[in-house]
Amino acid sequence: MPHPIYIINGPNLNLLGQRQPEIYGAQTLSDIEVMCVAHAKTLGYDIVFSQSNIEGEIVNALQDGGANGAAIIINPAAYTHTSVALYDAIKSIDVPVIEVHLSQPHAREDFRHTSYVSAAAKATISGMGARSYILGLDAAAHVLSNS
């Protein structure tokens, strides 16, 4: 089996299913993890799934994924719009990084229209709810098969 695909989740995503379900949906982060494990297996990959509310821990996860993973899918949540540290971490690793979002940031508040992560990521998928993660896995597998 190839190196795993890392799926890294940012702040407040541990509250999925109870926090603003009208925006983020009713699925929990655990539901999304189960869905991702199953889909990754169909693609021939294992995953390493994590979540943190702490920016430095997310940087550590990115660095670990860069050293030990085949690709990274990241939902940086609110750090999307604020974190130069995540941008720098992504720019410093050699595996493809796919940014995903449950909602469509450009359809929301103006401050959500800027993404530091998008400037460093290979691709961005947003607005598809939990399916954004499945599309992120498909995108990662596509990039890996064409590299």
Active site residues: 24, 101
Q: Given its phi and psi angles, is residue 129 left (phi above 0), alpha (psi -120 to 50 degrees) or beta?
A: left
Q: Which two tokens stand for residue 131?
A: 């399916």
Starting at the earlier edge strand, list the strands of the sheet with 97-101.
47-51, 5-9, 71-75, 97-101, 123-126
b/e per residue 81-93 (b: at least 16 CB within 10 A): bebeebbebbeeb
Q: For residues 76 and 117, is the Cβ–Cβ distance under 8 A?
A: yes
